[in-house]
Structures are given as structure tokens and as C-alpha cells.
Amino acid sequence: MAAKTKFRGSFTALVTPFKNGSLDEAAFRSLVNWQISEGTNGLVPVGTTGESPTLSHDEHKKVVEWCIAEAKGRVPVIAGAGSNSTKEAIELAQHAEKAGANAVLVVTPYYNKPTQEGMYQHFKAINDAIGIPIIIYNIPPRSVIDMSVDTMTRLWELKNIAGVKDATASMVRVSQQRAAMGEDFNQLSGEDATIIGYMAHGGHGCISVTSNVAPRLCSEFQAAWARGDHATALKIHDKLMPLHNNLFIESNPAPIKYAMSLLGKLDETLRLPMVPVTEPTRVAVRSAMVHAGLIN
């Protein structure tokens, strides 16, 4: 099957800035421009890192529209459009298509715990409702369910299913998916800490949390890997590894929002049930940022 997307490199799972309880449009647009200027290869608004569960539908749609408008076609935008309600996911996906997104990111339905057949039918319904590529977001730690390689292979036969954001942290899965679907199935890691292994197994890039705060280093890692300079890639990975770890001591996106507040990029504001990180995590995040050379 011919490739439906050829997304490569470092894609940032963007945070959503808030101020006084509302979306901070100016901070968000500034982030988009900073990310692109730092070498980020693509943008992913309103995913988990973007606190999509606590955004209203109107807010969700606004963030997608702002991202596409500010990117101005300089990099692709994969808009978050997931829900555990198929009808709701279709509505968000249709909006993203109309707004001009290059693709949508659709998470496996959390909480409902559908069977493999239920997952297949969920994604098929979204596939049939839109005309842009769909990246499956497989994240068992958050959604509880794990899409099998067999189910993914069935979905790959549909016209818009293009690839996966794989947050299983399993290196075996990358190779199994390559064997089942081939090189054209677009495999993007959703686990910063395992990225070097993911790429070695044939991955195409990363939808990254760390790249919110270290976009240049994350894009330089991907560029080094793409040119076959694995020694340089490993050096950058070592530089980033404390961040990859420490940004997940507490639930994402609380640590990354604290990290970005240290750079003056946004207010460290989250929506309940997310809360700011504790002092031990602040110390660990600051230390990791020093290690990466982002702050003194």
C-alpha cells in the first residue's frame, strides 16, 4: 500500500497555555512560532499534553484553528481529535479537516474498554467520515486498552489510516508493525525516553513532550539520526535523557508546564484535576534542564 503520510522527525505534542482560567492565545501563537524557528518538524495540538480532556469543544477547536493559522503551512499539523465517544471523535476530526489540518491524531477509546472489534469499528467510522489521514494513538497506560498488530493491520487497509503514535514503549512492537504493514506505515514514537531504540527498530520520528521545552535538541537528534550520525544522536539523547525521565515523575503535562515557565514561555497554570508539581519534582526538572543546557 502506498504511503498516506511521510511524517518524519520531531513533532511537538503542544501544551495549551492558560491565563486567568481562559486560553492564552498570545502565548500559544508565540509557542507555535518558537517551535518552528527552533527546527521542530511538525505540531500536534490538543492531545494529552494539550490538556484536551478539560477543554470545551469550542476551546479545542479554537486551539486547532490557531495552530494551523500560525503555522501557515511551514510544518504539518496533526490535530488531536480523539474521544471515547465515536460521534464526538468524528465531530472533532471533521472540524480539523475543515480547519486545514494535515492529519488527525485519534486515541484508542479510553474508559469504555472496547474489544479489538470495537476499536476497529471506532476507527473505521472516523475513517469513513473524513478525507485526511488518521494517526492511531495507541497508549495502553492511559487508555487501558492496547490495539493489537492484527487490528492495526486491518485498519491499514482503509483509505485514511496512515500510521501510529506508539506509546507502548515496546521496541518489539515497532518491528512487528513494520513486518505486518511495511515501511509505508508511518510509525511515530510517543515515548521520549525510548526514542533511540524506537528509531533503531525502524521508527520515523517522535511526537514528543520534551520538545516543548527543548525543541532544537529534539530536532537535532532527529536530524543526526536521519543522516546516519548515530554517535551524535546518542550524545544528544544522553543530554536529554534526564528530561525524558523527570518530565514524567508526575503526570504529564504538569512537569512540562513547570519547565516551560522556567523559560518564561507561559504561566504554570493547569486545569483541575491537574495540579502544579511538588517541590521535589521541581528540583528534578530544574536539574534536568541544567543538564540539557537549557538554563544555568
Catalytic annotation on 198?
no
Distance CA 259, CA 266 (A): 10
CA quadruple 36, 160, 138, 87: dihedral, nearest 10: 100
Looking at the chain, list the stretches that DSSP marks H as alpha helix, in order from N- to C-terminal side. Answer: 25-37, 57-71, 86-99, 116-129, 140-143, 149-156, 171-181, 195-200, 215-226, 230-246, 254-262, 279-291
Residue 277 DSSP class: P
Separation in Å, CA 27 to CA 5, 67, 273 = 29, 12, 22
The residue type found at 110 is Y
Active-site residue identified among 120, 137, 198, 258: 137
Distance CA 10, CA 235 (A): 17
Is 36 annotated among the ligand-binding residues?
Answer: no
Active-site residue identified among 4, 61, 120, 165: 165
Considering just the CA atoms, what is the radius of gyration of the chain in Å? 18
- Contact indicator for 204, 187 with CB cutoff of 8 Å: yes
Catalytic annotation on 111?
no
C-alpha cell at 211: 520538545
- Contact indicator for 85, 119 with CB cutoff of 8 Å: no
Orientation of helix 230-246 relative to helix 279-291, angle to 10°: 170
**Residue that has been written with the C-alpha cell 495552530 in this structure:** 67
Count of Cβ atoms closer than 10 Å to residue 87 Cβ: 10
Is 295 annotated among the ligand-binding residues?
Answer: no
Separation of CA 169 from chain center? 14
- Phi and psi dihedrals of 123, rounded to 5? -70, -35
Residues serving a catalytic function are 137, 165
Annotated binding site for pyruvate: 49, 207
Annotated binding site: 49, 207
